[in-house]
């Protein structure tokens, strides 16, 4: 699978996400996902399934060095007294001595960003993570985080799908040499039934979901997270590399974006988002 090189972090372009996935589902499906070709696994402290992810990786028989593992520090753990300890706990649950990418999960005004970034750098220097980054950051926060960080930031993981224009974030990421990691690619179930995506898919013998994922990874330096609890969907989610969308098809999909396209914006966590270009 193609990887995105962001400051030396070689991130597999397609990742297996575990958001809202109970431990029993992780244990059942993740070993199969790894066996079928996924090598990038995404979890988080707040998902409450890191232990299952660690157990599933061990059960898969796939060597740890062949897996790109991402987790995220929850906002309640950003303080100096809790940050490193929370990462150490994550590693114990994940049954590994390091993750490949560690992210700040959401902005948190209660702790200065300078402190958050310093803690990220400190655990990286200890070898607890190979690479660091952020999630759900606006372009203004990205700029500040890049300025504050001694080590380069590899990615900003954000909501991104055909109904949400993220060109400003993409342009900022390009400026800083960062990848953009897209979550919620199916737009909470809207994508599979979209008539434009279905029409484009029919021309390629693909589903609307495959078209949306292909649209994401066909953009420069974009990583897409997929998610499924059913084995038959694994092969479908991986079958994105045998077709290419035309420039006109890409433009049509970009044209689906709308002002109210954002789905994930929790009170108390979400920053002031960038408006569409």
pTM: predicted TM-score of the whole model, two decimal places: 0.98
| Mean pLDDT, residues 166-189 | 98
Check residue 6 and give its pLDDT: 98
Task: Mention every residue, 6+ apart, whose C-beta is less than 8 A from residue 247.
Answer: none
- Report how far residue 110's alpha carbon sits from residue 94's, in angstroms, rounded to the nearest whole number: 28
Q: What is the pLDDT of residues 247-260, one digit of tens each?
A: 999 999 999 999 99
**Could you tell me what percent of the chain has a pLDDT over 90?**
98
Active-site residue among 47, 163, 176, 183? 47
| Mean pLDDT, residues 141-168 | 98
Q: What is the pLDDT of residues 179-197, one digit of tens each?
A: 999 999 999 999 999 999 9
Q: Is 108 exposed, middle or buried (0-12, 13-18, 19+ CB in 10 A)?
A: buried
Distance (Å) of CA 41 to CA 12, 89, 100, 257? 9, 18, 10, 28
Q: What is the pLDDT of residues 216-232, one digit of tens each?
A: 999 999 999 999 999 98
Q: What is the pLDDT of residues 42-77, one digit of tens each?
A: 999 999 999 999 999 999 999 999 999 999 999 999
- Report how far residue 19's alpha carbon sits from residue 252's, in angstroms, rounded to the nearest whole number: 29
Fill in the DSSP letter of residue 3: E
Contact 28, 55 (CB under 8 A): no
- Report how far residue 74's alpha carbon sits from residue 164's, in angstroms, rounded to the nearest whole number: 25
Domains detected in the chain: 9-188+221-240 (3.20.20.100)
Sorting pLDDT into bands at 50, 70 and 90, what band is 106? very high
Which has the closest alpha carbon to 39: 18, 84, 83, 69? 69
Q: What share of the chain is helix, strand, coil (3-state, %, to 5)?
A: 45, 15, 40
Check residue 215 and give its pLDDT: 98
Check residue 277 and give its pLDDT: 57
The question of whether 78 is a catalytic residue gets the answer: no
**Could you tell me what percent of the chain has a pLDDT over 70?**
100
Contact 138, 274 (CB under 8 A): yes
Check residue 276 and give its pLDDT: 76
105 is in an annotated binding site: yes
């Amino acid at each position: 699978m193609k990887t995105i090189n962001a400051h030396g972090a070689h991130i597999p372009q397609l990742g297996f996400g575990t958001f809202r996935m109970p431990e029993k589902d992780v244990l059942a499906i993740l070993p199969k996902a790894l066996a079928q070709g996924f090598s990038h696994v995404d979890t988080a402290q707040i998902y409450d399934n890191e232990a299952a992810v660690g157990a599933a990786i061990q059960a898969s028989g796939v060597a740890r060095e062949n897996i790109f593992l991402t987790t995220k520090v929850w906002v309640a753990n950003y303080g100096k007294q809790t940050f490193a300890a929370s990462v150490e706990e994550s590693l114990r649950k994940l049954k590994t001595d390091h993750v490949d990418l560690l992210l700040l999960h959401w902005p948190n005004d209660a702790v200065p960003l300078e402190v958050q970034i310093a803690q990220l750098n400190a655990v990286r220097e200890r070898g607890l993570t190979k690479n660091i980054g952020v999630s759900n950051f606006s372009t203004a926060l990205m700029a500040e985080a890049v300025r504050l960080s001694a080590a380069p930031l590899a990615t900003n993981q954000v909501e991104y799908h055909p109904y949400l224009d993220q060109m400003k974030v993409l342009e900022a990421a390009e400026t800083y040499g960062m990848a953009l990691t897209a979550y919620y690619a199916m737009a909470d179930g809207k994508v599979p039934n979209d008539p434009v995506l279905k029409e484009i898919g029919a021309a390629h013998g693909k589903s609307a979901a495959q078209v949306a994922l292909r649209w994401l990874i066909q953009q420069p330096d974009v990583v897409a997270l997929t998610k499924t609890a059913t084995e038959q969907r694994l092969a479908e989610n991986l079958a994105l590399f045998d077709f290419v969308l035309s420039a006109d098809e890409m433009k049509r999909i970009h044209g689906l974006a709308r002002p109210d396209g954002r789905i994930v914006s929790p009170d108390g966590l979400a920053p002031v988002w960038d408006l569409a270009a």
